[in-house]
Each structure stands twice: as structure tokens, then as C-alpha cells.
Amino acid sequence: MKELTHYINGQRVSGSSGRFGDVFNPATGEVQARVPLASKEELDAAVEIAAKVQPEWGAVNPQRRARVMMKFVDLLHRDMDKLAEVLSSEHGKTFPDAKGDVQRGLEVAEYCIGAPQMLKGEFTDSAGPGIDMYSMKQPLGVCGGITPFNFPAMIPMWMFAPSVVCGNAFILKPSERDPSVPILLAELMEEAGLPKGLLQVINGDKVSVDAMLANPTIQSIGFVGSTPIAEYIYGTGCANGKRVQCFGGAKNHMIVMPDADMDLAADALVGSGYGAAGERCMAISVAVPVGEETADRLIEKLAPRIEKLKVGPYTAGDDVDFGPVVTSAAKQNILNLVQSGIDQGAELVIDGRDFSLQGYENGFFVGPHLFDRVTPDMDVYKKEIFGPVLSTVRAGSYEEAIGLAMNHEYGNGTAIFTRDGDTARDFANRINIGMVGVNVPIPVPLAYHTFGGWKKSVFGDLNQHGPDAFKFYTRTKTVTSRWPSGIKEGGEFNFKAMD
């Protein structure tokens, strides 16, 4: 069986803790590798190395750091298929989805090529008599990131790319479920010219997370995952004096108005609700048609589309719409929530519980599910399912529909489908959710804007990527400068000339 490693000081290093986690092939259910779970001592040793090499890197001018990122982008293009293949084999997502995962991270790296512009300070000439004032954006030092299983390429790049281009060292603790791609990314960064020790990958579990939170050298922590863990990391990190940025759960609503293009809306719901097996924080998991007639029309359009979805292993190529979920536990959690929806009175229009694939009977496959007549008191509505399950909540009016999204505890993303510009504008202005789509089902901003939700979907003041990333990974220093310019008398300055 393959034994994976950490990546420390430019080398793949075997774990020394004696603890390991299983890495599955989600399509077959078989264990394909073991990943080491680092001890506190291993984490601290990696941080010590990073702290030693960071000052020299932080002194490199931003233009030269940006050139490393430029080369990194070229290498990502070169190795796109290789990265996607490894990603799919551990995560289970289809090959096109895996390439999209890499691509969205690549776009953030492209944005980071503009670091010289983003890191410019401000200058005021003659702020006072003979006084100039200017600000500098300086690196934090050593930063850390804890990333989830569902985007093992994209989210690490969202964190380490802006961090290192700002002059920091970075310690990455990826998900132990699909840990191979982050190490490949670290190797590509060094091939691009990043000095050894500046980007290190430490595999692990809660022991590693707690070690990162406790280590005084780590100045900032980024996290993406569930809301309970986000709250824990945010609270603990802040208590330990760190800058912390945590992104939690989601329950994204898509409102469908009576005037919407129903075919467009149905296609959007299928793509956003079932793509990547629903394992993404920007998936639409709640459809909210306004009016009974709209709801009936929408279900009529949705059902045949969902029934035609093809589920299978990534090796089946473009013939598959989505693959298995990541673990057996994830599959069981999805099926438990589906059963709760049935028990609590929702109408199961499409039932994927008995889905089985010949030759892959032990894989973690879940067929697509569609619920109708879901109500806000049901678990399938309240909880993040993170699977191929779409719930339909019928609203009697636009105000009721917008109230559903506004009153939910999560506020990551939302969308509205309508032909009416006034309704769309009102929705975008009033909704208390961080990312909004108008006739766009997954409103993930491009790399030069920022990504982030509201309410219990986020903990911290700054979003990911875009301009906020350069704010998060630097601290501002303001200098007030006054140079004596008086007339010399007897070899001494006449400071009265400055009054």
C-alpha cells in the first residue's frame, strides 16, 4: 500500500508520529494509501524552518516574487491533467470537475502576479512643515492554512498564493482525505523558484490544527470547512493573538420567479445542485419557486433532467455527470438526512437511495434526490447536506421567498432567476448574503473580486482572494518623516528655521 508523506524544507518526509489515516478510492471503497498524521513536534519543527527562511524572502522585492507566481501559473498549465488525475482518484469528482478545481486556483495565482501594484503603499508630501508621511505593507511572517477535502487544489492556492507573494512563509494543513495534490503544488512552487521551506505541507488531524493554533510563530490562520469547526478555530486563534479568517457552512437558496425562463432555471438547478455530487459550499441546495403554478412547472422541468443524470467513476470520462462522495461516512450522513426528510413529511420526487453501480458496489455513490414541499422546520432544509440532494420549498410570494433566505442562519450564496430587472435589483440590494447571482446559479466571484459569505458562513473581517487577500496577509506600517533643513551656523543646524 502506498504511504504518503509530509513536505518539509523542500523534501517529501515520512511521518514520525506513528499515526496514520486512510485515503480511500471513493469509487471502489478501497483504501489506496496511508497518510501520516503529524504530531505537535513535527508541526513545530516545520514552523521553525519556515521562520528561518522567511525574512530573506520577505526582503525580496514584490516584482521578483511575482515572477515566481508567473512561472507557477505556467507550470499549472503544463501539469493540469496530471493534477486533475491525482485529484479525481482521491476525491472522486469527475475529471472535468477536477480540472475546474485546479483552474480556479490557477486564476488566483494569476491575480497574484499583480502583487507589485497591490503592495504599493501611500505617500503624502508635506503633511506638515518639512514632514512627509508614507505607509508600507509588510508581510506577517509565517502564516497557516487549514483546507477542506472538496477543493484540494483550489482552496490551498486561494491561501498560499497571496500569502507567499506578499512575502510570507506558509504552513498548509490540507484535508487528510485527499492530501496528494497539495504536495504536488508545493513542488511546483519550488520548481517555479520559491525557496525551500517557504511553503510546507503538514498532513494531520485535530492534533496538527491545535498545534497551529497554539504555535506563537504562526501569525495568521485561514480555514474553510464546517461552521462548528470554523467557530472553534476562529475563537481559539483570536484568543492566541492570531489574525484569523474562517469560512463555514452554507445553505444556498435559488428563488425562481413566475416570469423566469423555466428551462434556464431547471438547467441551472441541476448543474449547481448535483455537480461535484453537491460537495461544494456554493451548491444550490434549496429551490424556492414563487407560487404554486411556478413550483409545478419547475418540478415538471426538473424531474426528467435529474432522472437522466449519469453517476459513475471519474475514469468513465465525460460520460459522467458526477461521481461518488468522499467517504462512506459522508454517504451515510446524506442518506440519514434523506430519510429524515421522508419521516418529516417532505415529498421525495426522485429517490436515489438504492443507486448501485455494477462493478463498484462498494463505492461511495449516492444517486440524485429531489424533494418537494419541504418546510423550514425540516432537517433537510436546516442542515447542510453536502450531497446530491435538492429541496424545493414553495413560497406564496416574493416577500416570503426572500424571507426564507434572509432568515436562514447561513449566508454564503444565493441566486434569483427572473426577467424583471426591478425585482432582481431589489433582491441584490436587500438580501443579507455575501454572494448573489442574478440568473447565475453559482455566484462565485472571479479572482480579482473577493469570495466570502455573511452570517454563520464566515468568521472574520476579510474575504478570500481579490484585494482582501493582500490586506489579510500584510500589516500596514505608517512612517512620519521629518528631516532638518535649517541653515548651518558654526557647524550646527539652526532648528529655529524649522519652527
Give tens-digit pLDDT for 170-220.
Answer: 999 999 999 999 999 999 999 999 999 999 999 999 999 999 999 999 999
Is-contact 199 190, C-beta < 8 A? yes
What residue segments make up the domains of the chain, in order of their start? 2-248+457-479, 252-438
At residue 155, what are phi and psi to the nearest 5 degrees? -70, -40
At residue 497, the pLDDT reads 46
Tell me the catalytic residues.
Answer: 281
Residue 182's φ and ψ, nearest 5 degrees, are -55, -35
pLDDT(490) > 60: no
Q: Which pLDDT score is estimated for 486?
A: 56
Percent of the chain's residues with pLDDT above 70: 97
What are the E-state strand segments in 106-250? 123-128, 131-139, 142-146, 169-173, 199-201, 218-224, 243-247
pLDDT exceeds 90 at position 125: yes
- Averaged pLDDT for residues 254-269: 98
**pTM of this structure:** 0.94
Tallying the residues shown for the chain, one arrives at 499
pLDDT at 155 over 50: yes
| Percent of the chain predicted with pLDDT > 90 | 94
Do 352 and 325 contact (CB within 8 A), yes or no? no
Cα 435 to Cα 454: distance, rounded to the nearest angstrom: 9
Q: What angle do CA 365, 21, 278 make, to 5 degrees?
A: 30
Look at residue 491 and tell me whether its pLDDT is greater than 80: no
Alpha helix (H) residue ranges in 60-153? 62-78, 80-91, 95-112, 115-118
Amino acid at 148: P
The superfamily (CATH) of domain 252-438 is Aldehyde Dehydrogenase; Chain A, domain 2 (3.40.309.10)
Higher pLDDT, residue 380 or 486: 380
Question: Does position 488 have pLDDT exceeding 60, yes or no?
Answer: no
- Which of the residue ranges 181-190, 304-313, 479-488 would you say has the lowest mean pLDDT? 479-488
pLDDT reading at 492 higher than 80:
no
Topology classification of domain 2-248+457-479: Aldehyde Dehydrogenase; Chain A, domain 1 (3.40.605)
Evaluate whether 378 touches 389 at the Cβ level (below 8 Å).
no
What's the grid cell of residue 323? 461521481
CA atoms within 13 A on the CB side of 242: 26
Using one digit for the tens of pLDDT, what is the confidence trace for 163-176?
Answer: 999 999 999 999 99
Cell of 291: 407560487
421-468 pLDDT, tens digit each: 999 999 999 999 999 999 999 999 999 999 999 999 999 999 999 999
